[in-house]
Amino acid sequence: MKIVFATNNAHKLREVSQALGDTFTLVTPRECGITEDIPENEPTLEGNALAKARYIRSRTGLDCFADDTGLEVEALGGEPGVHSARYATDGHDDEANKRLLLERLADKENRRARFRTAIALIDGDGEHLFEGIVEGRIAREEHGADGFGYDPLFVPEGEERTFAQMSAEEKNAISHRGRAVRLLAEHLRGGKR
């Protein structure tokens, strides 16, 4: 079953492919001839996911899905949230984002945080939203070499390791994106295509 995933992020593509399994073949926007950046100007994760999926659908006519993920830190009033990928700069600079996060949390005892992923699917039945959340905390320094983004700083509830210290399989089993993707897969496998 082929479906367009509105991302050109290799890390996300690999993570979602592993979570969906062999039943689905993911096609990227680039493979559909879409090389421009897809706008992400909405004030919510759900809004961005829907906007990206609508963008792909309008240009390809194909079933597609898009995600948006945010790290929401309690002591920072939910920051960086929808701005997670561009927290420190206009670009996707993971190192600058992590430095800024640690700076802003330097004098905070409350390290509680959660990762939240919203996935928007557009298929023949219309638009559908799926959400995955994982609660945890922000470590005081980076640990681990795997993963991407804030993974070296995020310790999920019930764990002592960061996402970056886990194998891809371990992370997918408990992560926000893994949870949202499983809901997406259940929907797609349920014949609602």
Residues involved in catalysis: 68
Q: Could you identify the residue written with the tokens 């993570």?
A: 15
Amino acid at site 156: P
Q: How far apart are CA 37 and CA 39, in angstroms?
A: 6
Q: How far apart are CA 102 and CA 77, in angstroms?
A: 15
> What kind and span of H or E run contains 98?
helix 94-105
**CB count, 10 Å around CB of 109?**
6
- How many residues are present in the chain? 193
